[in-house]
Structure 1
Amino acid sequence: MLTPEQMRRIEPYFPLSHGMPRVDVCRVLSGIALVIRNGLRWRDSPSDYGPDKTIDNRFIRWSRLGVFNRILAELAAQGGETDNLMIDATHLKVHRTAARLLKKGLYPGCIGRSRGGLTTKLQVVCDGKGRPRLLHLSEGQANDYKTAAAAIEDLPAAKSLLADRAYSSAAFRQALVERGITPCIPPHAKHRVQHSYDSVLYRQRHRIENMFARLKEARIHTSYDQCAHTFL
């Protein structure tokens, strides 16, 4: 599924093998992409991609090492600088097989109770073209702007950040201003201070909504059913 040119771009981010030669990374990674894209069980992966246990183990190991996060960050950075950033979140229903992750363990599950059941929240920061730059998981009941505050230090340089009213917080606005980013966030009607914002620029926020729609159409995150690091 991956071409040699695509593999040359991401191969440096994988850990080096020690001892015996490693199974072909391109073949294993193609098997991982096939299983996730089609919602298959690991045992249902075609034998052409290698043993299903090898594919599963590599996926979990590389997830814990942060390999896929580094690939996303580095490839997104190659897209060049952006003038505008957008942030939004979506709730994901927790699958029954992931309910056991609600208990504390070595790898947190990022599961909370909201909307009448167990949910987790996926928060995404996009550039002006709707391309993901940062992804963050939190409990479903977590407040949007409090969760976004944890990712402020990792925000790329930009002139403005577009968000909906859920992010209208004085502390969040001040944190953005300190980083040299102008908040383009409409205020709540009940707020004492009605902050001004660029209504024309705010119309571009539909691009991050389109990004979430494309992810859900591709069945990438229709339900939450794994540990936080592997699901992310």
Structure 2
Amino acid sequence: MDVPFLLSEAQMRRIEPFFPLSHGVPRVDDRRIVSGIIYVIKHGLMWRDAPKDYGPHKTIYNRFIRWSRLGVFNRIFAELAGKAGEPDRIMIDATHLKAHRTAASLFKRGALSRCIGRTKGGLNSKLHAVCDGLGRPIMMLLTEGQMSDHKGAFLLLSALPNAKELLADKGYDSDWFRAALVERGITPCIPPRSNRKVQYHYDKALYRQRHKIENVFGRIKDWRRVATRYDRCAHTFMSAISIAATCCYWL
């Protein structure tokens, strides 16, 4: 079999424990199918355009959808990131991901939110992320594009690790967020807004490290189906993001 990309045996051993057990007829080779899923997401292909060596495209698509509904890919990311231990320094930021018309159509229908909203840039989703001091993502949250950075930070606050420092840009400069961090024993390194009457002090030398979380977004957006959202369902798009983050940083 000559395929453009194939996970190594060592990589498969790390993620196999998270796969659902096969019932009845043995399923198609997990290594080949998961490698096909990764290839499609990274290169932004339609599922039917997946290289034939990975097997039937319907099998690749169905496996991705079924395991996305079960939260398999999100769990792989969370477990592998968690094995790195609690970091001493964390960074938080958010970025917009443009929604293609195939994802944005009929976005108001259905009981579950599609995490697609309207901003000045059109319809898009917003990815909130927390990374460690080495620039590796450890937490991610997908919301509608119009959600503010502050609200995303509020949703992530309770799950933040017990770090010593948190780096963020001016978008996170608020009294309640600073107070919440200090209450948890986390020192905020956030530049104050220019319109503040009282300017907070922050470590400018330390703040220069914040580029690492921007690098995370840049690296994940190199994956075509992440930079542009083609998936209507939020859980499938979040699975694609988790796959990209796992492959880039944790495998």
- TM exceeding 0.5: yes
Answer whether contact 1:167 1:185 (CA < 8 A) is retained. Answer: yes
Correspondence 1:17-32 to 2 at 5 A: 17-32=22-37
- Aligned partner of 1:82 in structure 2 is 87
- Aligned partner of 1:229 in structure 2 is 235
Answer whether contact 1:144 1:166 (CA < 8 A) is retained. Answer: yes
- Aligned partner of 1:155 in structure 2 is 160
- Aligned partner of 1:201 in structure 2 is 206
Q: Which moved more, 1:99-108 or 1:2-11?
A: 99-108
C-alpha distance in 2 between matches for 1:65 and 1:157: 29
Answer whether contact 2:97 2:226 (CA < 8 A) is retained. Answer: yes
Output one character per residue of 1:194-219: Cα deviation in whole Å (capped at 9) or x when no partner.
32222221110011112222223343
Tell me which amino acid in the other structure corresponds to 1:6. Q
Tell me which amino acid in the other structure corresponds to 1:122. L
Q: Does 1:143 align with 2:148?
A: yes
Alignment partner of 1:156: what SS? Answer: coil
- Aligned partner of 1:98 in structure 2 is 103
Distance change in 2, residues 1:193/1:15 (3 Å): farther
Q: Which residues of structure 1 form unaligned runs of 5+?
A: none
Q: Which has the higher contact order (CA 8 A, sep 6+)?
A: 2
C-alpha distance in 2 between matches for 1:161 and 1:63: 31
C-alpha distance in 1 between matches for 2:159 and 2:100: 30
Answer whether contact 2:42 2:222 (CA < 8 A) is retained. Answer: no
Answer whether contact 2:131 2:213 (CA < 8 A) is retained. Answer: yes
TM-score, structure 1 as length reference: 0.93
Distance change in 2, residues 1:64/1:107 (3 Å): farther
Q: Which residues of structure 2 form unaligned runs of 5+?
A: 1-5, 239-251
- Aligned partner of 1:52 in structure 2 is 57
C-alpha displacement of 1:35? 0.8
Name which of 103, 107, 110 aligns with 2:115: 110
Correspondence 1:206-225 to 2 at 5 A: 206-219=211-224, 221-225=226-230
The alignment yields a C-alpha RMSD, in angstroms, of: 1.6
Tell me which amino acid in the other structure corresponds to 1:198. D
Tell me which amino acid in the other structure corresponds to 2:49. D
Aligned length: 232
C-alpha distance in 1 between matches for 2:109 and 2:78: 28
Distance change in 2, residues 1:194/1:101 (3 Å): farther
Tell me which amino acid in the other structure corresponds to 1:75. L
Alignment partner of 2:34: what SS? Answer: helix
Q: Does 1:10 align with 2:15?
A: yes
C-alpha distance in 2 between matches for 1:30 and 1:94: 25
Answer whether contact 2:41 2:226 (CA < 8 A) is retained. Answer: no
